[in-house]
Amino acid sequence: MFIAVEGIDGSGKSTTIKELKKFLEKKGHTVVHTAEPTDLPIGKLIRDELKNSKNDTPLLHEKLGLMFAADRLDHLQKRIWPALKDKKTVLTDRYFFSSVAYQSTNVSYEWVKGINRFAMLPDILVFIDVSIDKALERIKKFRNDTELYETKDFLTEIDNNYRRIIKDFEDRLKVVFLDGSLGMDEIYDDIEKKFEGVL
C-alpha cells in the first residue's frame, strides 16, 4: 500500500506521520517512511535551491517544478517501488500533490500536472486540514529560518491549489482529511476514526 501525506507548511505533518506510522504498525503493516524532496542527489539540490533562491529569480519556479518531477521519478525507482515489491506499506511525507499545489502558484497548473504525469498515484491521500494562521504560528514557533513559500499569501494560495488538485483526483484514489488543529494527544484518535473502513 502506498500512502501520501500532504498539507501546507506548518500543518503538523511530521507529528501526524509519526502517529499514522504507529497506527499502521498496530494494524500489522511494515511501514517504510520516506519524504520529498528526497535525500537523493536531485532532492538535495532542491533543498539548496529553496533555501538560497529569491522568489523573483528568473525561471526559478519552472526549474523547481522540473527538479521536483525528476526527484519524484528517482524516488519511485529507488525507494517506493522496491518497498512495494517487498509488500511493505510506503508512507511518504509529500508527493505529486505538493508539486502542483506549490509550483502552480507561479507557473501553469496544467503544466505542472503534465510534467508529473509519469508519477503513479498513491492508494490513499491524507490531507491535513489546518488554518493558515495556525500553520504560520507553528512555523514561527518551531523554525529558525523560513523557506521561499512560508508567507501568508503563499500559504493561502497553496491551500487553494491543494483543494483543486484533490478535487481533480478524488475519483482515482481514497482521500482522508485529518484535522490539523488538534493537539498532539488527539491526533492518533483522529487517525483511528478517519481511517475506519479505509484500509
Q: Give domain limits for the chain.
A: 2-194
Contact 97, 6 (CB under 8 A): yes
**pLDDT band for position 145 (cuts 50, 70, 90):** low
The residue to which cell 488538485 is assigned: 165
Q: What is the CATH number of domain 2-194?
A: 3.40.50.300
CA distance 71 to 119: 10
pTM to 2 decimals? 0.92
Q: What is the mean pLDDT of residues 156-177?
A: 96
Short-list 60, 70, 69, 17, CA closest to 184 = 17
What percentage of the chain exceeds 70 in pLDDT?
96
pLDDT at 128: 98
Closest by CA to 90, choosing from 99, 104, 80, 82, is 80
Q: How confident is the model at residue 19 (pLDDT cuts 50, 70, 90)?
A: very high
**What is the sign of the dihedral through the CA atoms of 121, 15, 13 and 193?**
positive
